[in-house]
């Protein structure tokens, strides 16, 4: 597994909200694809009916860049402009054990997230609902790691619960911090 490999640019998401500056990126937002492969989700984002997008889509074997870092995805409002969005192949209904069976997906997402933490000065900390609300209201440097479920709970602009209660966010964070050191 070469997690440091460049992401493939085979598929380009059709939905975006235009450019942004690096200064605006304050969060890494974690999602799941509700599907088994990164390629399937990346291809789906090319369709008008997809209704969404992210920056990267990863699985055990691949990474697809569907939007550049400085393009605003339709990922999880209101954190589209301020979030770098990573879709992970998997399901919100998965248990912790099922997610851990796909350890390379988590590792790949953590590596890609660690790069963004370095490049955009995003603190390697997971924010809960109250912390996200307070941080987002500040409109200044801060930020951290959040899930789509946390954003939904904080702002009620979506009903998504991904990547689910079973997602091992502690494992993700540990791997991300390992890459940072």
Distance CA 148, CA 33 (A): 11
Task: Write the pLDDT tens digit of every residue in 24-58.
Answer: 999 999 999 999 999 999 999 999 999 999 999 99
CATH-assigned architecture of domain 22-180: 3-Layer(aba) Sandwich (3.40)
Give the containing element (helix H, strand E) for 110. helix 103-120
Three-class SS string for 41-83? HHHHCCCHHHCCCCCEEECCCCEEECCCCCECCCCCCCCCCCE
Q: Mean pLDDT across the stretch 101-120?
A: 98
pTM above 0.95, yes or no: yes
Q: CA dist 153 to 84, 90, 128, 157, Å?
A: 19, 21, 10, 9
The residue among 4, 104, 108 whose CA lies nearest residue 56 is: 108
Give the containing element (helix H, strand E) for 129. helix 129-138
Distance CA 25, CA 33 (A): 22
Q: Residue 131: what pLDDT?
A: 95
Task: Write the pLDDT tens digit of every residue in 79-97.
Answer: 999 999 999 999 999 999 9
Q: Which residue has the tokens 């995805």?
A: 73
Q: Residue 1: what pLDDT?
A: 64
Q: CA dist 175 to 49, 56, 58, 101, 107, Å?
A: 35, 18, 15, 16, 6
């Amino acid at each position: 597994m070469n997690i440091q490999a460049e992401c493939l640019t085979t598929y380009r998401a059709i939905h975006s909200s235009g450019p942004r500056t690096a200064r605006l990126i304050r969060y890494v937002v974690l999602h799941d694809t509700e599907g088994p492969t990164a390629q399937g989700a990346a291809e789906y984002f090319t369709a008008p009916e997809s209704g969404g997008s992210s920056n990267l889509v990863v699985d055990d074997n691949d990474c697809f860049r569907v939007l550049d870092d400085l393009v605003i995805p339709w990922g999880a409002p209101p954190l589209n402009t301020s979030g770098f969005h990573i879709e992970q192949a998997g399901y919100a209904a998965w248990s912790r054990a099922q997610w851990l069976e796909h350890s390379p997906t988590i590792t790949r997402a953590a590596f890609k997230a660690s790069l963004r933490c370095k490049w955009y000065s995003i603190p390697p900390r997971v924010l809960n609902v109250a912390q996200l609300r307070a941080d987002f209201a500040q409109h200044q440097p801060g930020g951290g790691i959040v899930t789509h479920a946390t954003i939904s709970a904080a702002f009620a602009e979506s009903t998504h619960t991904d990547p689910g209660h079973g997602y091992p966010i502690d494992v993700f964070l540990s791997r991300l911090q390992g890459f940072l050191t």
